[in-house]
Amino acid sequence: MESFTTSRIIPTTPQHIYECWIDADNHSEMTGADASSDPKVGGAFTAWDGYIEGTYVELTPYAHIVQRWRTVKFPIEAPDSLLEIVLKSSNGGTLLTLSHSELPDGQGGSYKVGWTHHYFDPMTTYFRAVY
């Protein structure tokens, strides 16, 4: 199993990020790909046109999101990974810290790059334009 932590300051409030992350329509706008979401503990979600799926484990409004998370690239026998998102106000926006653990061996590096290219970069552009 592999894990990593990465972070970036996103130019908006923790509330905006939290609401966009868990709301399907806003998540789709923020990333540019279809999403679905039942934003409650135990609720299911999908992102990136079904490439990602999982369930919510913990939701602390405007501060913390924990998900069980997997992609279509996970081996069938692999358990869901654990994704933890922490949001903290910071100068110029929100420090988003993402910890991704329990990833299948050999996949951690590609997901770390993926979070930057498919989430942090589009989120930064989106929130600069919208807020």
**Alpha helices, DSSP H, located in the chain:** 14-22, 24-31, 108-115, 121-130
- The two beta strands, 93-103 and 2-10, are antiparallel
Instruction: Give the global pTM.
Output: 0.93
Looking at residue 91, its pLDDT comes to 86
Q: Which domains does the chain have, with CATH numbers?
A: 2-130 (3.30.530.20)
Give me the pLDDT at residue 129, please.
Answer: 86
Q: What is the pLDDT of residues 67-115, one digit of tens each?
A: 999 999 999 999 999 999 999 999 889 999 999 999 999 999 999 999 9
- Rounded mean pLDDT, 55-77: 97
Q: What is the pLDDT of residue 131?
A: 65
Kindly state the average pLDDT of the residues 26-54. 96
